[in-house]
Amino acid sequence: MSNHEGQKPVRKEMSRRQFLSYTLGGTSAFMVGGVVLPMVRFAVDPLLQKKETSAFIKVVEESKITNDPVEYKFKIHQVDGWYESEAELVAWISKDANNKVFALSPVCKHLGCTIGWNTEQSDQYVCPCHGAHYTRDGKNLSVAPNPLDEYEVKIDGGFIYLGPIKPNSRV
């Protein structure tokens, strides 16, 4: 009997097993990848995209604006990750002594209530919650620790466009 007789063809069987495991493993990885990768991309993509917050919105014709503040409402389309929504914003818009248009946020800088213009016939913004007062430029006179915020303003083709909110630059 030669040394080769009686020995199992070990190398051949291992090769077949390896071949099967590579083939099945590769196929499984391909299938799992095909399912999982799109899910991962779906989950992560919106987080990598910039929030759309910096757009300017057309609000009103410039010719309608006077030195007396008037409340204007406008809508912005918000995209935050997967969540899209319409939000209604409010701005008090007027012109200053140099006829420069400016727009103030109505959010009281005390605790966030909504201010109103001239509600006490005092030519001031007044907050109904705890009595904060502000000048027409938004300067805080009482209760609130800071001036009213301002919107970025752009004027184009006779229309006023409002953009992101920024700290008051007038006081």
Residues forming contacts to ligand FES in the complex (CB under 6 A) are: 108, 110-113, 127, 129-132, 143-144
Nearer to ligand FES, 94 or 140 (CB): 140
Q: How many CB atoms lie within 10 A of CB 94?
A: 18
User: Which residues lie below 8 Å from residue 169, measured CB to CB, with a gap of 6+?
Assistant: 150
CB of 143 to ligand FES, least distance (A): 5
Q: How many CB atoms lie within 10 A of CB 115?
A: 27
CB of 78 to ligand FES, least distance (A): 24
CB of 72 to ligand FES, least distance (A): 21
CB of 39 to ligand FES, least distance (A): 45
Nearer to ligand FES, 59 or 108 (CB): 108
Question: Would you put residue 112 in left (φ > 0), alpha (ψ -120 to 50) or beta?
Answer: left
CB of 66 to ligand FES, least distance (A): 26
Angle, CA of 92, 154 and 57, to the nearest 5°: 70
User: What is the helix (H) or strand (E) element at residue 71, kind and residue range?
Assistant: strand 70-80
Nearer to ligand FES, 46 or 116 (CB): 116
- 122's tokens: 């005092």
* Burial of residue 51 (number of CB atoms within 10 Å: 0-12, 13-18, 19+): exposed
Nearer to ligand FES, 77 or 130 (CB): 130
Nearer to ligand FES, 137 or 152 (CB): 137
